[in-house]
Amino acid sequence: MSESRASGDRFAVELDPAMLQRHIDELGAIGALAEGGLYRGVYTPAWAEAMALVQGWLEALGLETRRDAVGNLFGRLPGTESQRAVLSGSHIDTVRQGGKYDGALGIHAAIAAIGALKAAYGRPRKHLEVYVICEEEGSRFHASFWGSRALNGRIAPHEADSLQDADGVAIGQAMRERGLDSSAIPSAKRDDVDAFIELHIEQGRILDDEGYDAGVVHTITGLRQLRVRVGGRQDHAGTTPMDLRRDALAGAVEMIARLTGAAEAMGRPAVATVGSIAVAPGATNVVPASCTFTIDTRHSDPGKRLELLAAIERHLQEVAARRGLELEVQQLIEHHPVPMTPAIRDLVEACAQAEGLRYLSMPSGAGHDSQIMAQHVPTGMVFVPSVDGRSHTPAEYTPVERSVPGVRVLARALYRLAY
């Protein structure tokens, strides 16, 4: 396939799959746990080791490296004409017992793409930068999107002290241990970014099941997480007839069946998950007095999302009223759906077509740094298949030959944006 008519240039870069594989293996060895999988929480020793490794790769490629106030790492191929920058990358932190690909592959892809562009075309017009994002997962602190929030000036002043890890260490203190000064966080804000493209594993099974080479994300899903407490009456399990009970768990079970049923009835990409449940007092011969469970519900379409949320609310209320149960619903997290920037999404699709790929335009059911970036700078995402849809587990896997098509799409898109 040739892109010559569209761009006025022949596009011919040579990617290095062996380097990509080496980077996957070397970074994937840092933070390895005895019980399997990886953990690279932000500002931990494993995180610092990973950052140093990647900085070495960037320098070996001849890129100018810089770290900002929160420890985001940039590797710049300087532009010849403009002081504006085009960025590509992803996060270097992991969940506990995570895999080698979530986040990391987006870093490896940016390095491979920018390295190949440098070799084929030399310096771009605009700065072209590998963006190694310090934190996204919220796995050590509830800091989610810490790196991309810093870059966009979205960290509140109190967070350096108020965000604490499981040992009570504040994130500001953890930063000091890495030589970073939390009072300088506002200096991480950038106003010179023209575009950001993130390559990421899908973390689901649609591309793999249906044999696609890549996905082009149109929207990052909206998410609401709730904690529901159902209150009943604690009674003797032998002496209290069924019709006289206010059984908190029986009510919760009916609520859960109905709310998951509502998402099933709506169809893809609606999801509703109850992933955590606790029953009190929790005895074999006692009618449960209370039941607390969480709901995680997502949809990429704003209208459908509200429809699903309304249906869930209705089911909770109806079941509680009929069974005479108390109901308390607490909202934990609310993220609205974030569409990717149409011009970048179209560009990524055009590049996938130019590569001759079989690709799918799709929503992302997982959150990504791109949902923060897209609210400030033109942003797009490329997905590569996750074998069997596995993610946030050591079983996460994408063979290098199934990453390369997406990396080529990324390289083409960066070429169009920066050269």
Residue 360's beta-bridge partner residues?
Answer: 215
Minimum gap (Å) between residue 366 Cβ and Zn ion: 7
| Stretch near Zn ion under the rule CB under 5 A, chosen from 101-109, 264-272, 354-362, 379-387 | 101-109
Q: How far is the CB of 200 from Zn ion (least distance, A)?
A: 6
| Bridge partners, residue 273, by sequence | 296
Residue 281: cis peptide before it, omega within 30 degrees of 0: yes
Instruction: Identify the CA nearest to 131 among candidates 156, 155, 159, 103.
Output: 103
Phi/psi at 102 (5° precision): -65, 115
User: Where does this chain touch Zn ion (CB under 5 A) — which range of 80-88, 95-103, 118-126, 381-389?
Assistant: 95-103
> Measured from the CB of residue 90, what is the shortest distance to Zn ion in angstroms?
6
CA-CA distance, 159 to 150, in Å (whole number)? 11
Q: How far apart are the first and last CA of the chain?
A: 20
Q: Is 104 or 216 the residue whose CB approaches Zn ion more closely?
A: 104
- Asked whether position 202 contacts Zn ion by CB under 5 A, the answer is no
- Measured from the CB atom, the residue of 75 and 103 that comes closer to Zn ion is 103
Of the listed pieces 18-26, 94-102, 310-318, 352-360, which binds Zn ion according to CB under 5 A? 94-102
Contact flag: residue 93 with Zn ion (CB under 5 A): no
To Zn ion, the closest distance from the beta carbon of 181 in angstroms equals 27
At closest approach, how far in Å is the CB of 317 from Zn ion?
35
CA distances in angstroms from 140 to 29, 47, 171, 287, listed in the order given: 19, 11, 9, 37
As measured in angstroms, the least distance from the Cβ of 132 to Zn ion is 13
Which stretches within 11-164 are classed as H helix?
17-28, 45-60, 104-121, 146-151, 159-162
| Residue 162: count of CB within 10 angstroms of its CB | 13
User: Which pair of structure tokens corresponds to residue 326?
Assistant: 């108390």
Nearest approach, Cβ of residue 277 and Zn ion (Å): 27
Binding-site member from 3, 102, 165, 213 for Zn ion (CB under 5 A): 102
Exposure of 339 by Cβ count < 10 A (0-12 exposed, 13-18 middle, 19+ buried)?
A: middle
Please give the single-letter amino acid code of residue 130: V
| 79 lies in the site for Zn ion, by CB under 5 A | no
Q: Which residue among 28, 31, 103, 204 contacts Zn ion (CB under 5 A)?
A: 103
Q: Which is nearer to Zn ion, 103 or 204 (CB)?
A: 103
Question: What does the radius of gyration of the chain's CA atoms come to, in whole angstroms?
Answer: 24
Segment interacting with Zn ion, rule: CB under 5 A, options 3-11, 45-53, 97-105, 151-159:
97-105
Q: Among the candidate windows 19-27, 102-110, 114-122, 384-392, which touches Zn ion by CB under 5 A?
A: 102-110
Sketch the per residue contact string, 42 through 71, with Zn ion: x for CB under 5 A, - otherwise. Answer: ------------------------------
Q: What residues are paired with 287 via a beta bridge?
A: 235
- The verdict on 215 binding Zn ion (CB under 5 A) reads no
CA 85 remoteness from chain centre:
23
- Residue number, 71 or 89, with CB nearest to Zn ion: 89
Contacts of 400 (CB under 8 A, 6+ apart): 17, 20, 21, 24
Q: What is the DSSP letter of 182?
A: G
Q: How far is the CB of 30 from Zn ion (least distance, A)?
A: 16
Applying CB under 5 A, the residues found at the interface with Zn ion are: 102-103
